[in-house]
A and B are shown apart, each in its own frame.
Chain A
Amino acid sequence: MALQVSRIPSLPPVNSGLARMLPMATTVLAAVIAILPLRVPGYAVLTPAFTLMAVYHWTIYRPDLLPPVGLFGLGLAQDLLAGAPVGVSALTLLLARAAVLRYRRHFINRTFPFVWTGFTLLGAAAMLGLWALHCVIDLSLFDLRNTVFRTVLTIAMFPAASFVLGRTQRALMGAAG
């Protein structure tokens, strides 16, 4: 069960303050990018879940630097800014973190396709869960098609996000990352 907590492993210490802030900072940035009004037809509905990508990446590589309290606060802020029911993002991000942390050891030091497969599973589960949660909150059955498209787009965008995050991580944290 996702609520069951896995221990955060001890990782090599990161001395630079900037590098220590990196996971939280990039996750916040992902949340901001998600609500920027790109003038692409239908984009708002299909916006990839950038925050989820950042949470997945950092929970695998530096879970010690992505505190659950930070995710909780970020989730609340995201909902307040997007006009969504408050608490939904916080819940999703925390559950995603818990799930990834639990299976983390399977993804560490593996080839990228394997990591991507892991994200595919997480993304699909999170999007479906989000859909179900919104259906319950608003007491109406939303069209599942948009959710499916959004999931596909999220999974398709992951390699790019992973590349950017991995590069920044190596640049700022060096061997410790």
Chain B
Amino acid sequence: MVLRPSAQIRATIQRTVPPLLVLLAAAIIVLGKADQAIFVSLRTTVTDDAAPALDALSRPIGAVAALFDRVRGIVAMYQDNLRLERENERLLQWQQTALKLSADNRELRSLLKVVPETVVSYVTARVIANSAGGYVRTVMVNAGTDQGLARGQAAITGAGLAGRLTEVGSRAGRVLLITDLNSRIPVVIERSHVNAVLAGDNSERPRLLYARAADAIKIGDRIVTSGEGGVFPPGLAVGVVAALDGHEPRVEPYVELSQLGSVLIVDYGLSGALPQPLTAAKRPSRHKKPAIADEASVR
């Protein structure tokens, strides 16, 4: 027998349910704010479940983008050819320089008995979802623990650092971009060797914080990872100083973050440095200051 609630009961439900849901949503926001770790596993599950569908849906977009690139390429062929010829000439000179430096380097390394750098492994992952709205700067990628990914690994493109993996499910992962409010990357100004922290604030250009000699920073300075905190290896290209807003210079990332099609998730063998988020019960002390590398923990 199908239970049919009377009109009166239905009216009561209609009246009471929406406000209750509004209150519940508000309560969830407060709860999530109070303990950020609370929704991590739910988020990973939902992301994992939705990944195949999003993966399939985002494929045509890649095809369309490729088509546009081709059309643009045909239109600009003549100009591109001229530019590439010039560039090729310049690069051939650089190649000579690089070969010489590489030989020098090998020789000096053997003299100093330098331990070779650890072998890195790459996984190419496609971006399958964005976060709409600009209050969060993350992307979802179609690879997870099944492909050998782990929290803390760096997401890079040919141009430089894009972000890091903060949540990893079995077949999808979330990359916290370097522009996100929660992103903190230990960096160094290449020219002056001044250490700083690159802090995202949801704008296109993250800020440089805690630079010891802020006066020494100039527009056009190259910013690379410093390797402090042990999350990223030193020397990964991040961006260039694009503006000096008083004591908070702004950095233009090398990676075009709004047009990420795919990223390389790189395992430098360092990912153990990013600890799992603590739940409220396990949290040791409220007053203990987290290390820089931990701050970009969870969303």
Residues of A within 8 A of B (CB): 3, 5, 7-8, 32, 34-47, 49, 68-69, 71-72, 75-77, 80-88, 90-91, 94-95, 97-98, 130, 133-134, 137-138, 140, 142-143, 146-147, 150
Q: Assuming A7-B11, A37-B260, is B21 touching A83 (CB within 8 A)?
A: no
Contact A87 B25 (CB under 8 A): yes
A-B contact pairs, 25 of them (CB 8 A): A7-B15, A32-B54, A32-B57, A36-B54, A36-B57, A36-B130, A37-B129, A37-B260, A39-B258, A39-B260, A40-B259, A69-B21, A76-B28, A80-B39, A81-B129, A84-B133, A84-B136, A85-B33, A86-B28, A87-B25, A90-B28, A91-B26, A94-B21, A130-B133, A142-B202
A133→B156 CA distance, assembly (Å): 32
What per-residue 1/0 map shows which CB atoms of B159-186 lie under 8 Å from chain A? 0000000010000001000000100000
Contact at A5–B135, with CB atoms within 8 Å?
Answer: no
Contact A41 B57 (CB under 8 A): no
In angstroms, Cα B20 to Cα A98, docked, is 12
Per-residue contact bits, chain B 39-50, to A (CB 8 Å; 1 contact, 0 not)? 100110011001
**Given A41-B259, A72-B25, A80-B42, do A85 and B18 touch, yes or no (CB 8 Å)?**
no
Give A47's nearest chain B residue, CB to CB. B132
Shortest CB distance A41–B (Å): 5
Residues of B in contact (CB 8 Å), total: 57
Q: Known interface pairs A42-B258, A77-B46. Does A72 touch B21 (Cβ–Cβ under 8 Å)?
A: yes
* Smallest beta-carbon distance A63→chain B, Å: 10
Nearest B-chain residue to A3, judged by Cβ: B19
Partner of B135, one of A37, A91, A98, A142: A142
Residues of B within 8 A of A81 (CB): 46-47, 50, 54, 129, 140
How distant is A124 from chain B, measured CB to nearest CB, in Å? Answer: 15
Q: Does B29 lie at the interface of the complex (its beta carbon under 8 Å from any beta carbon of A)?
A: yes
In the complex, the answer to whether A37 meets B128 with C-beta atoms within 8 Å is yes
- Within 8 Å by CB of A140, from B28, B129, B132, B201, lies B201
In the assembled complex, the CB of A84 is this many whole angstroms from the nearest CB of chain B, namely 5
Within 8 A of A (CB), among B260-295: 260-261
